[in-house]
Homo-oligomer: A and B are copies of this chain.
Amino acid sequence: MPRTGRRPGATGTRDRIVNAAQDEFGELGFEGGTLRGIGRRAGVDPALVHHYFGSKQQLFVASMQLPFDPSELAHVLADGGIHGLGERIIRFAVGVWEQPAGRRVMVGISRSAVTDPRAADALRSMLESTLLPIIRRLGVDHAELRASLIWSQIVGVLFGRYIIRVGPLAEADPDDLVQRVGPLLQETLTRPMR
């Protein structure tokens, strides 16, 4: 249905509202976003937004679903073993961020996580449901610490690239970014720790 909207699949009013909410929270964070602003973006009355989703909190939860299944992903990433895993992790993350829907959700969650506990939980779940199971399965020592350090590097790159917009991170070609960050994650996975 190529003529129904700017985003494939966003055909119904409900989907339009969800997309609008992703844009609103992505730009303004949970704190700054309003049902009025979301209605305006979706081209519908705020009362209709309220009718579909109830509160701003409920719409936030509905619109900020991680754009992948964490436990399925953990399987896929860990299947190749530790060799090249750092690169596979950052390649997957960059792949999500470089798709419009994935970027809206991840930037929205990150922007909101600084003030909203639900968004902070979502960001923390990337560690607990994805990175930690992968790294545990490999049987390396200090799995929790290594997973947290990898998480912090990914979050740092996401902030630098899409939110604070730091020159070299914001401008890097996606493949280049993977080549730069992958070896640092691999070092985090493999360096001896006492």
Instruction: Tell me the A residues contacting B by CB distance below 8 Å.
Output: 28-29, 31-32, 110-111, 113-115, 120, 123-124, 127, 144-145, 147-149, 151-157, 159-160, 163-169, 172, 180-181, 183-184, 187-188, 191, 193
User: What's the dominant secondary structure at chain A's contact region?
Assistant: helix
- The answer to whether A29 and B144 have CB atoms under 8 Å apart is no
11 new A-B contacts at CB < 8 Å, known A149-B181, A159-B159: A29-B114, A31-B32, A31-B115, A144-B167, A147-B168, A148-B160, A148-B167, A152-B156, A152-B157, A152-B160, A155-B156
Considering the chains assembled together, what is the distance between the CA atoms of A168 and B120 in angstroms? Answer: 16
Residues of B within 8 A of A110 (CB): 114
Q: Which of B32, B120, B168, B188 contacts A144 (CB 8 A)?
A: B168
Could you say how many copies of this chain the assembly holds?
2
- The answer to whether B169 and A152 have CB atoms under 8 Å apart is yes
Q: How far is the CB of A146 from chain B (nearest CB, A)?
A: 9
Considering the chains assembled together, what is the distance between the CA atoms of A169 and B110 in angstroms? Answer: 18
Residues of B within 8 A of A157 (CB): 149, 152, 156
Q: Which of B123, B163, B183 contacts A191 (CB 8 A)?
A: B183
Considering the chains assembled together, what is the distance between the CA atoms of A163 and B119 in angstroms? Answer: 12
